[in-house]
Each structure stands twice: as C-alpha cells, then as structure tokens.
A and B are shown apart, each in its own frame.
Chain A
Amino acid sequence: MKAGKKRARISSASKKSAPKKSATRLPAILRNVAGADDVRFVDLTQTLAPDFPTIVLPPEMGPCRPFRMEEISRYDDRGPAWYWNNVSFGEHTGTHFDAPIHWISGRDRPNNSVDTVPIEHFIAPACVIDCSEEAKADADFLLTVRNIEAFEKRHGRIGAGSWVLMRTDWSKRSDPVAYQNLDDTGQHTPGPSADCVRFLVTERDVLGFGTETIGTDAGQAAHFTPPYPCHHYMHGAGKYGLQCLCNLDLLPPTGALIVAAPLKILQGSGSPLRVFAIVPQR
C-alpha cells in the first residue's frame, strides 16, 4: 500500500520533464526496491576535499582543477550571521560522472552532455563485479570478457540499462600516493580491457561503467588499442562513466539500485555528484 503510493508520486513527477516512456520504465526498475520489506542505503561517494587527487596528465596539457574551497564569510565582518564558501573544481573531480560528450567518440551523440542526459538514466540497477582479489595481486589487472561470463554464470545475465561497477577495493587506499599509484611509466590502476568494454556495449547494452579508481579506464590505458577504450567505446555509444566510487564492497552482485544524478551544467562533460545505492534486504 505504502509502496504503491510512492510509486505513483515518482511517476507523476517524472511526467513533467521526461519523455512518456519513462513513466512506465521507472516503476519497473523500482519494483524490487519498493517491494522490499527493508532497504539499506549505501553512500558510494568520496568526500570532495582539497587533497583528493585528480587525474595526472603531462604538465604542458590542461589539467583538471582539484577541489578548492574559499570562505566567503564565517559569522564575521564578511557576513555576520552566516557561513558559506565559494568552491571550484574541474568537472572530473572527486566522485564524478562522465557524459558521452566527454570523449571525442561521443561528441555527436544526441543528449550527450550532463544537462541533456535523460533523467531516467539517473536511477538504474547495478551489477557489481568483484575484482578485489585480482586488483590486490596486480595493480594493472584488466577485467576481461571471460570475467564477465563467469559473473553471469553465477549471477545471471547483465541486463540492458544496468550500471556495471568494477569493485577493486581501490577506494580503500586512503593514502593519495597509493591511490594514484604512479611510477616512471605512468599510472598503475585496474580497469576494463578493450574487448570487455566492447562486449558490454554491443552485447549487453549497459548504461555505463563505474570504477573505484580515478578513471573508468585502467591506468595504462593510454597504450591500449584504442587508447582509453572505456571512454572510447562507452561514450561513443552514448553510455556513461562513474569513477572514484567507494563502498562497492557493501553492494550485492546484483539487486542494488544506483542513484547518480550529475549537476545540470550547460554543455557539461561531467560533474561531481552524490552517488548512492539502495539495496533491498532479503
């Protein structure tokens, strides 16, 4: 009864701004959660802080600005009764969302920037593939099609429109040096192989790919064919990316619902955002 009310409210709200089809699709996604007796909320977001690292590029290139906060006033002569800050950051700072326009392969996709991405995509189911052991053994671990097939054998086929989240426990590296894991040959962090990304896009029609590392691609992905395959294929097909996620170890392999709504930035290529999961308890 209660759940039914909730469902009705959500669909009527979405009618105002979303295409008609979402009015039928959203409740379908929410059914599991709304029907559950009990749910758990899991925050998948890193705190935006000045010392959280951003992606490293050669210094002559344009870098992503790290998060910065400047105080406007704190109950003082600049504003006697109020405390507030001005903040600045690149679109790809902290836990953030990549829109298709971020990559050159997605530049001509329809609705490819954060202000035009269909809002019904902001709530979607997640398949969480546990690669934590492999990433622990090999920082350059690559997720392959075989890993996907093994996951599906145990947990069922990855549904169209799902997030695929690669759990590596990389977010547990609280030391930013270990988190970046740079050496003279660049960054060493796990990610998906080119074949794996192509498979997820063409064979499974996923919503996007999410990681705990600083990018959706592996640290060494500049040397892959094509370079940065996750960006290349995902965004080329209008799919999304989520990175710098945390707490993926608290999610079940399937069944969690992900809420990930980027800021509505005109022509924005991405944005920091609050990502959380709703996990039905069985």
Chain B
Amino acid sequence: MPKAAKRPQRKNPLLRTRLPTLPPAARSRVALGLTAAAARGRFALQACPDCGAVQYPPSEVCRKCLSQRLAWRAQDGGGELLTETTLRTAQELFFRERLPWRIGIVRLDAGVNVVAYLHHNVDAAPCRVRVEASLDRAGQAALIAVPQQRRADLSDDPKLREMTCDPRGRKILVTDGKSAVAQALVRALSAAGAELIWVGEAEPWKKDEGLESLRELPQVSIVLVDVTDSQAVRQLAGEIGAKVDILVNTADLHRTFSIATRRGVETAQQEMDVNYFGLLRLAQEFAPVLKARAADGPANAVAWVNLLSIFALSNYPPHSTYSASKAAAFSLSQALRADLLPAGVRVINVFPGPIDDEWDQLEMPPKLAPAALAAAIVAALKGSVEDVYPGDVAQDWLARHLDNPKALERELGESAT
C-alpha cells in the first residue's frame, strides 16, 4: 500500500480544526476552457484551424497567425520535461502550507512549453512525461506531469492526493441504499478502502435483500433516513454530519410517466420531493459541516456526489416528470458547488444514461449496469473530475447536447410519439 494511502491517525481533539486554503483560482474566461475539459477528465488546448499551431497559455488569438478561430482540441499530453525546480518559499498561503513543491517546464510534443506540477514518481529532468489536466481544490485546471510509461495515480503522491477525493480511509454517507446502484456503489467504496460507510435506509418495513446483504461488510452501518423527511435528515446530520468526508446522494425516485400518461401531479411531486427537495434538505443540513471540515487533516471532508441523470440535460418526454426533477436537482447542484468550492469541497455530478434496473425496463440497450455506474463514481472520486457521463448513451447524449441542444430536444421529442 502506498505511503499516502495509510489510514490516517486519529485527530488530536486539543488542536484547532484548520481552515482550508486554496491554490490561486483566478483565470481568464478563455482559460476556463482548460477547466471545462479537466472537469470531465480531459486535457485540451486550443488549436488553430488555419495554421495548426497549438496554443499555451490559452489565448484569444493564434500566437502564430493571429487567427481568431481557435478551437479546443483534446491533447495526448506527451512531452519532455526540460527543467525542474522545487519551491521552498511562497507568498500564496496554499503553497506556504505545503512547501516544498516540485514544478517543471514540459515541452509538449504539440509544440508548446507548459508549467506543470511534477508527480513524485517523475524522474529528474530531462525525461519523457505525460501531462494531464486535473482539477485542483479551487476547482480550476492544473497541469500535472506524470511518468510517461509507468502508471501514476494522483493519490499515490502525498501532495497531489489532495486533488483527488480518494475514498481510501474516508468516512462516506450513501444516502439511500435501496437500489442496485447504491448497493454496487457501497461494495465498490468498500473495496476502494473506505473506512466507514453509512448507508441510508428509508421505509424500513419494505425489506430489501440487497441492502440487508451489505451488513456483511465490516465498514457498513445502516442508518434510518428518508430524504423526504426534514426532521430525519436534520437528525442524521446532527448525529454523523461532523464525521462525513464524502456524501453520495443516491436517493432517487424514478417513475416512467409522461405528461399525458399520469393524471395529476402527485407522482411528479414525489419525484421532486426525493430528487430535488431531498438534495436541498441534505444540502442545508450537511453542507455547512462539510465546509467546516474541509481542512480537517488527511481524512478531511472532500466531496459531495450527486447521482443525477442524462435526462437532466434535456427532457426525455417518456420520462418527463422524472427528467424535470433531475433538471431541478442539477440546477441546485450548481449552487451547491458554488457554495462548497470556496472551501475546496468538490461537487461531483454523475449523469448516467438508462440504467439496467426496473424503471428503465422498456429502454433499449445499451443500458448501464449498476456495477459499471458504481465503478465510474469511484473512479471519479479517485481522480479529479466534477462531471461524469458514464456509458455510451450518456456520452452520446452529451455530445449531441453540446453540439446542438435544440436538435437534441427535437430528437428526444420524437421518442415520445
């Protein structure tokens, strides 16, 4: 087991809980293109369609031909580490608390020099490296040079580990354990080394064998909570809120109705109550204490994961009220992110396409297996992304949405008839 991944020592209760500091977060609007790609785990730079030059730093016009038609293109990140240095003094509070800090200049094969943090497995310059873009605690893209050949996870590096939300050694709340996805997720988190996993159970009289079977995992404790019950959410936050490092909101009510196939609003209200108001209740009770613990030693509060749906991007009319509730949750998650980001707590939104479960029974394959979705969530925590579109359908819808949202709206509209 790598050194950084050992179970952290218990906190000394006599010491003050430190407040988080963040790496410099100011970026120009055009530089946020790097962040947009990094949020999905990609390294992209601008390329000039006229002369082919790749740009760094991000720019309004081409550094070679002054073309204004620059477009973001995925990069493989291959390059040569030309030179390196180790910072031993810094004005920024974030770096002062973390010195010494190793950085270097990498000549990318694409033809530009970039400044990058160096993974501790990178050999002394000069050597071949691969540059990745990762989100830092401020939520901005940072370039990391890792060894080109060897596998090197951010969480293997004691300093760069902070850019991840690695579940190893952490205490995690999964808000609703009564779904195949949640159960697969709890098992995956357990395998990933979570120290403790609280699994929420609503309506305990409706027995769920999958949830019961989680009791065999030593880290799991099942807690009664129903996200539609404000008092229950408040009580749970009071009891365990100050221990939760990662909250994964799996509470999801999915009914497969369109506007015309369900009379009245009762079902839609239920969906909103779980999918939207449930998130709001959790956010009001858990977000303040997560923020307060964002720098609480090596097992600090790091992440909030929302299980949304690709239907949140554009309404899928056969599941129209569900789509609307997920769109509402997506919207609120953006506000939650704005709230948690200044503390360095990452909000990760997961947008799966149809899942291989009861409520997507009539959807055609490919459908996302619960275990695959769980693996994608754990991978997101181990990495440094904040938007996850797991599976082919989600990737396809996302691409169509980014390309032309009106076209996607029309295409999905046709599926209703």
Contact = CB atoms under 8 A, between A and B. Distances in A.
A51 B206 CA distance: 13
A180 B228 contact: no
Contacts of B206: 56, 182
Contact of B266 (A62, A66, A180, A182): A62
A3 interface: no
Contacts of B205: 53, 56, 176-177, 179-180, 182
Contacts of B207: 177, 182-183
B204 A177 contact: yes
Interface string B220-255: 000010101111100000000000000000000001
A180 B207 CA distance: 11
Going nearest first, the 9 A-B pairs with the smallest beta carbon separation are: A180-B205, A50-B229, A177-B205, A176-B205, A177-B204, A53-B205, A62-B266, A70-B230, A182-B205
A50 B255 contact: no
Contacts of A69: 230-231
A62 B229 contact: no
A174 to B, nearest CB: 13
28 contacts: A50-B229, A50-B231, A50-B232, A51-B224, A51-B226, A51-B229, A51-B232, A53-B205, A56-B205, A56-B206, A60-B255, A62-B266, A62-B267, A63-B270, A65-B266, A66-B229, A68-B228, A68-B229, A68-B230, A69-B231, A71-B230, A177-B204, A177-B205, A179-B205, A182-B205, A182-B206, A182-B207, A183-B207
B203 interface: yes
Interface in A31-90: 50-51, 53, 56, 60, 62-63, 65-66, 68-71
B355 to A, nearest CB: 16
Nearest to B257: A60
Contacts of A53: 203, 205
Given A63-B270, A177-B205, 9 more contacts: A51-B224, A62-B267, A65-B266, A66-B229, A69-B231, A70-B230, A71-B230, A182-B207, A183-B207
A253 B224 CA distance: 39
Nearest to A63: B270
Given A50-B229, A69-B230, A176 B204 contact: yes
A213 B206 CA distance: 16
Contacts of A71: 230
A50 B229 CA distance: 7
Nearest to B358: A59
A178 B189 CA distance: 32
Contacts of B226: 50-51
A56 B208 CA distance: 14
Contacts of A182: 205-207
Interface string A88-126: 000000000000000000000000000000000000000
A34 B205 CA distance: 43
Nearest to A56: B206
Nearest to B281: A70
A208 B231 CA distance: 35
Contacts of B203: 53
Nearest to B269: A65
Contacts of A65: 266
Contacts of B230: 68-71
B281 to A, nearest CB: 10
Nearest to B207: A182
